[in-house]
Amino acid sequence: MTVDIALQEQLKALDIQILELLNQRARVIAQLPPCSAGQWDSYIVELQQTNTGTLSNEAVKRIWQSLNSNMVNTDDSERAHYLYEKSPNKWRTIVDLPNSASIGAGNFQIIAGPCAVESYEQLDAMAQVLSSYGVKILRGMAFKPRTSPYDFQGLGEEGLAIARQVADKYNMVLVSEILDASQIPMMYDYVDIFWVGSRNMHNSFLLRAVGEIDKPVILKRGFGATMKEWLMASEYILLGGNEDVILIERGIRTFNDWTRATLDISAVPLVKQHSHLPIVVDISHSAGRPDIATGLTAAAIASGADGLMVEVHPNPKQALSDAQQQLTPEQFADVVQTVARFQREPIAQL
């Protein structure tokens, strides 16, 4: 009992001392410029390295996060913690493209093309149709990340050369998938937008590398990735100085079996709520079937998406990959019509 009282007094004395130091701390912080959540995270790691005591580093982290959130008096919602987050200064990113098209903040674009470049003739035929509908961004994939090493892996650099030629002919912007950081120098001369695929969303090495180039990057959501992981993947790119990141929602893996994946339409308003980055909806890989293309297109635009990604093929049944899900030119015409109808009704407040 006596011991308890002594201990209680000890505790009180300690807490008074701590409180005094916290007040000093609050005054110092008030004089410092705002500090990003990232900087705080790094700072806390440094502090943890000085921790030799009874508290776990996990507790130190939680305590300091709490201290910070209880000391800053500015309205938290006004302050961007991460680079991907909206702030009063950065509300909506608009990515300008070489052919004077742009995407984001009401500038809507369709990204279309076959699953993969198969030949000059195939891509030329496709681009002619697409550009006749006003499509400005051409999907020209030359490196395909396939489940099986025995499946068609793309035409490689030869495919890029074809795609560049075709894009130039129709004044389209070329987007193509990159599989590894080492491909940057070679691909740089061919493509206008680098595409980081679903299977590479967690590849921080590649994310950092495309963060250092001066061309826009499309970042697809991993099919097993949470919203947070996806946005943090964009942070890796933004941190390198590349501000032109375009997000693509492409469906997540669930138990559903009537669609290839489950299009997570909530991702669109969630991205609009949390981030300034443009978001595009991929209606091909999510559904994996062309018969619900117009319904998903309408949903995507109405919910606030800045663009649409669609696989179209002159003759889907002959395609070397993704034969099941590519649209015919006729089906694509319906999609374009749906886009036209709903674009006259933008959701202003988003």
| Tokens, residue 348 | 């202003």
When the beta carbons of 165 and 259 are compared against its own copies, the nearer one is 259
In terms of Cα–Cα distance, which of 281, 286, 319, 310 is closest to 154?
A: 319
CB 105 within 8 A of CB 130: no
CB 318 within 8 A of CB 122: no
- Distant-in-sequence, close-in-space partners of 75: CB < 8 Å, separation ≥ 6: none
Classified as helix, coil or strand, 216 is coil
Looking at residue 168, what DSSP letter applies? H
Residue written as tokens 């946005």? 231
> Least distance from C-beta 173 to its own copies, angstroms?
25
> Least distance from C-beta 179 to its own copies, angstroms?
5
Rg of the chain over CA atoms, in angstroms? Answer: 25
When the beta carbons of 146 and 169 are compared against its own copies, the nearer one is 146
When the beta carbons of 131 and 234 are compared against its own copies, the nearer one is 234
> Least distance from C-beta 21 to its own copies, angstroms?
5
Query: Which residues, listed in sequence order, are joined to residue 152 by a DSSP beta bridge?
Result: none
Burial class (CB in 10 A: 0-12, 13-18, 19+), 270: middle
| Tokens, residue 320 | 């070397």
When the beta carbons of 139 and 221 are compared against its own copies, the nearer one is 221
When the beta carbons of 131 and 183 are compared against its own copies, the nearer one is 183
> Least distance from C-beta 98 to its own copies, angstroms?
27
For residues 289-324, b (16+ Cβ closer than 10 Å) or e, as one string? ebebbbebbebbbebbbbbbbbbbbbebeebbbbee
> Least distance from C-beta 177 to its own copies, angstroms?
11
> Least distance from C-beta 168 to its own copies, angstroms?
26
Pairing relation of β-strands 307-311 and 279-282? parallel
When the beta carbons of 172 and 319 are compared against its own copies, the nearer one is 319
When the beta carbons of 30 and 188 are compared against its own copies, the nearer one is 30
> Least distance from C-beta 171 to its own copies, angstroms?
30
